[in-house]
């Protein structure tokens, strides 16, 4: 029976609708026996027929009922009536943190106090063995009396073995959470723990400080990609007046690696308290109260005795925090700064001097590293020399074992207003195809630098494009695999709709196979005169080895079309037989997300690249149980795309520094680098069939800017250009 037909659920009378979330609709209701108002979350009827959803819903009640803490919303009851499952909670009268920042920008002490109080509730949850998994501004509530409560453990999981072993309903690879606040491991579908909650709380703190999420993209897949691979943003880039300690807490809590985050919610709370204590001389009126409270203690809850000092400098990835058990980290409340000393001026001077010192050390370290690398390449290869940093340095060289390649900037395609996610050359190298976030798939004449055809214009974000002599394929956020016959003016063929967004595409050199890398699968198609026929999803097991296919970022074929390779955000690279889709070899021991892969001229070797300063790896997949070999010269570089340009040379583009680099694989040296004219690095790269041109693409999703750049690669014999 529908709720509107009968407002009664057992002893509860529904009054009005308060809101809706992923796990149900929340109503204001009255307990007719105890005569009190409560909040009731009702599982939608469509979900109530799903046994797993019902099991997770009732698990929520048992999980949340364990908590009895002033900073956690209390659970009163759970029941099932008229085919509807519902949870009864205390009614919190006030506003969520999301509602508070929708009205105005919060003063940073108020935002910090909100997060600190929510962190107290998180400490209690973690000590009870629970992980929330959906911390966000709308799940932090402040009552009209100023008490902050952490709400909605609908996605919580029990950490104790008895519950997870018997009642876990989360399948491997299933993603639960809100993209703007999900931890990298959550985005990858990996197991979560208490430190995953700290990441989400740090992302929420960033939002309360700036009124925008850390990665404000509108597309879930792009947001999740940013959590996994982009640097932690500094809230001071949006609000310059914020203390550096705020940025330090955000940076540490949102570190990509769990090992670099706070060790526990208790340690994070100590850091928040230390920040509040640092301004204890300031009186602050908390909203919803008439009392003037001290910022350090606040009006909502007592300050925990555990206190740490924050560092005076911030490293975006691994901002260090003093451990709580460090005796020197205790701040005595009895110590007062002498009123006759101008505290603000001295503090600002100290900050500036510390920052200048840190910048000087960073420049020295970078210069030393680059000098050492260039020295290595000079020592190891007398026929190569470094590329100039100026785009006009046309004498720049890319060295290899058998020849020398000169890289020159040719130009940029005009009039591109949207970020370009994918590029591919035509079979003759005269045209390039682009896929953009504005939903467009376009063909460009390289020599004339103008658009000659628009294949698609109004789809959702298009992430990938691939071309053969006859066919053009594209796909993206709308999950549709599109196919066109290039020489024909016939409309697009909708080959199929995949269960998740399409992230990457590749057509084999012989034109017979099409590989599709999606958010949760790798599909293989046969190309024929009529279009494409699905062969099936590539197998993910062979001799008990598994290739996680979550968020497949790159698929590619070997030059002889025999093998298919792919990289996954699950830190895995695999090789399949391109004829039947059977897994041949897999490596899953990388430390960070793998973004790109390509075959080397030697058919049994791959080179792939990773984020988070992991660099490049070479792998001989024909040797059973062989390990990948890192290129030491590439360590410290973020790799986004790779192009093979010689028998032993690769051109690599990172995502953030905007520099193209060339590596000689045999010598393990950096033999060239070239500074792009654009400010951001490329998202993708393609090499022409003859190896004489490359194109890079990218842009800025936030400001709706895009580009496609053209480079020439001239091959010369050794000694001819000395």
Task: Give dist(CA 353, CA 348) in Å, integer.
Answer: 9
| Nearest partner of 437 among 151, 716, 705, judged by Cα | 705
Q: What is the pLDDT of residue 46?
A: 66
442 and 529 housed in the same domain = yes
CA distance 43 to 60: 12
Host domain of residue 320: 96-334
Using alpha carbons, list the distances in angstroms from residue 85 to 28, 60, 79, 167, 440.
Answer: 16, 12, 6, 17, 45
Domain identity same for 542 and 644: yes
Tell me if 126 sits within 8 A of 194, measured CB to CB: yes
Give pLDDT tens digits for 314-373: 333 333 333 333 333 333 333 333 333 344 445 555 666 666 766 666 655 554 444 444
* Beta-ladder partners of 72: 150
Number of domains in the chain: 3
pLDDT digits (tens, 9 = 90+) for 304-331: 333 333 433 333 333 333 333 333 333 3
What's residue 397's pLDDT? 37
Same domain, 13 and 109: no
Coil/strand/helix, residue 6: coil
Please provide residue 505's backbone torsions phi and psi, each rounded to the nearest 5 degrees: -140, 155
Predicted confidence at residue 473, as pLDDT, reads 96
Over the chain (722 residues), what is each successive 10-residue block's mean pLDDT?
A: 63 86 80 88 74 74 78 86 84 91 90 95 88 90 90 56 35 58 89 93 96 88 88 93 94 94 95 82 44 34 36 36 33 35 49 67 53 40 30 35 62 88 94 92 94 85 94 93 90 87 94 91 90 83 52 90 88 88 82 82 83 81 82 83 80 72 85 66 84 86 76 62 30
Q: In what order do the strands lie in the sheet with 24-31?
A: 8-9, 12-21, 24-31, 36-42, 84-90, 75-81
Are residues 279 and 415 part of one domain? no
Residue 609's pLDDT is 87
* 578-597 burial code (b ≥16 CB/10 A, e <16): beebebbbbbeebebbbbbb
- Does 396 lie in the same domain as 307? no
Residue 373: per-residue pLDDT: 43
pLDDT, position 718: 45
Question: Do both 585 and 555 map to the same domain?
Answer: yes
pLDDT of residue 601: 83
pLDDT at position 720, please? 36
**Do residues 566 and 574 make contact, with C-beta atoms less than 8 angstroms apart?**
yes
**Alpha-carbon distance 181 to 707, whole Å?**
29
In a shared domain, residues 116 and 51: no
Residues 401 and 441 in one domain: yes
pLDDT of residue 661: 83
**pLDDT value, residue 706:** 86
Kindly state whether residues 59 and 135 are assigned to the same domain.
no
Residues 187, 227: Cα–Cα separation, whole Å: 8
Closest to 208 in 3D by CA, of 110, 92, 95: 110
Looking at 268, 301, 334, the residue that finishes a domain is 334
């Amino acid at each position: 029976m529908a709720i509107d037909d009968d407002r009664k659920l057992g002893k509860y009378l529904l009054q009005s609708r308060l809101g809706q979330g992923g796990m149900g609709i929340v109503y204001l209701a009255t307990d007719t026996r105890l005569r009190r108002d409560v909040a009731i979350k009702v599982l939608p009827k469509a979900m109530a027929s799903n046994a797993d959803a019902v099991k997770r819903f009732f698990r929520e009640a048992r999980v949340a009922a364990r908590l009895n803490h002033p900073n956690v919303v209390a659970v009163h009851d759970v029941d099932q009536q008229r085919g509807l499952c519902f949870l009864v909670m205390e009614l919190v009268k006030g506003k969520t943190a999301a509602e508070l920042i929708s009205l105005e920008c919060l003063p940073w002490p108020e935002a910090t106090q909100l997060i600190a109080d929510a962190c107290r509730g998180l400490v209690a949850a973690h000590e009870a063995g629970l992980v929330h998994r959906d911390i966000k501004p709308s799940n932090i509530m402040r009552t009209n009396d100023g008490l902050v409560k952490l709400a909605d453990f609908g996605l919580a999981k029990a950490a104790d073995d008895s519950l997870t072993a018997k009642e876990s309903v989360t399948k491997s690879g299933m993603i639960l959470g809100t993209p703007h606040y999900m931890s990298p491991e959550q985005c990858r579908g990996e197991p979560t723990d208490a430190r995953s909650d700290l990441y989400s709380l740090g992302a929420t703190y960033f939002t309360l400080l700036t009124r925008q999420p850390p990665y404000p993209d509108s597309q879930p897949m792009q947001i999740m990609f940013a959590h996994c691979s982009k640097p932690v943003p500094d809230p001071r880039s949006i609000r310059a007046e914020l203390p550096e300690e705020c940025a330090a807490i955000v940076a540490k809590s949102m570190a990509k690696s769990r090992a670099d985050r706070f060790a526990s919610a208790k340690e994070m709370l100590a850091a928040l308290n230390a920040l509040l204590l640092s301004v204890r001389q300031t009186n602050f009126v908390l909203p919803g109260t008439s009392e003037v409270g001290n910022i350090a203690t606040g009006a909502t809850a007592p300050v925990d005795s555990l206190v740490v000092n924050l560092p005076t400098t911030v490293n975006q990835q691994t901002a260090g925090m003093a451990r709580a058990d460090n005796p020197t980290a205790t701040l005595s409340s009895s110590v007062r700064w002498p009123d006759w000393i101008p505290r603000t001026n001295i503090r600002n001077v100290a900050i500036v001097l510390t920052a200048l010192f840190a910048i000087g050390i960073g420049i020295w370290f970078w210069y030393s590293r680059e000098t050492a690398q260039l020295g290595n390449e000079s020592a190891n290869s007398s026929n190569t020399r470094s590329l100039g940093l100026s785009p006009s340095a046309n004498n720049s060289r890319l060295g290899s074992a058998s020849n020398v390649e000169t890289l020159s900037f040719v130009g940029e395609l005009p009039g591109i207003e949207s970020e370009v996610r994918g590029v591919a050359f035509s079979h003759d190298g005269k045209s390039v195809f682009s896929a953009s976030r504005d939903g467009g798939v376009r063909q460009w004449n390289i020599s004339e630098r103008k658009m000659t055809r628009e294949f698609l214009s109004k789809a959702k974000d298009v992430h990938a494009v691939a071309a053969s002599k006859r066919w053009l394929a594209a796909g993206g956020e709308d999950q549709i695999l599109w196919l066109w016959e290039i020489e024909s003016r016939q409309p697009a063929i909708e080959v199929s709709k995949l269960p998740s967004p399409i992230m990457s595409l590749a057509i084999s050199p012989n034109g017979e196979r099409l590989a599709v890398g999606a958010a949760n699968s790798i599909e293989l198609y046969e190309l024929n005169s009529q279009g494409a026929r699905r062969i099936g999803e590539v197998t993910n097991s062979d001799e008990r080895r598994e290739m996680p296919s979550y968020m497949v970022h790159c698929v590619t074929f070997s030059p002889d079309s025999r093998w298919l390779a792919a990289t996954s955000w699950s830190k895995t690279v695999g090789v399949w037989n391109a004829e039947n889709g059977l897994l041949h070899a897999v490596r899953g021991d990388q430390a960070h997300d793998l973004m790109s892969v390509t075959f080397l001229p030697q058919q049994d070797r791959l080179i792939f690249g990773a984020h988070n300063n992991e660099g490049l790896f070479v792998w001989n997949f024909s040797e059973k149980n062989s390990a990948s070999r890192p290129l030491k010269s590439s360590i410290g570089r973020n790799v986004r795309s790779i192009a093979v340009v010689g028998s032993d040379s690769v051109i690599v583009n990172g995502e953030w520094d905007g520099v193209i680099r060339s590596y000689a694989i045999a010598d393990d040296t950096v033999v060239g680098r070239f500074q792009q004219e654009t400010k951001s690095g490329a998202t993708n790269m393609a090499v022409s069939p003859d190896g004489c041109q490359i194109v890079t693409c990218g842009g800025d999703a936030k400001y709706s800017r895009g580009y496609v750049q053209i480079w020439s690669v001239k091959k010369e014999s050794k000694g001819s250009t000395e």
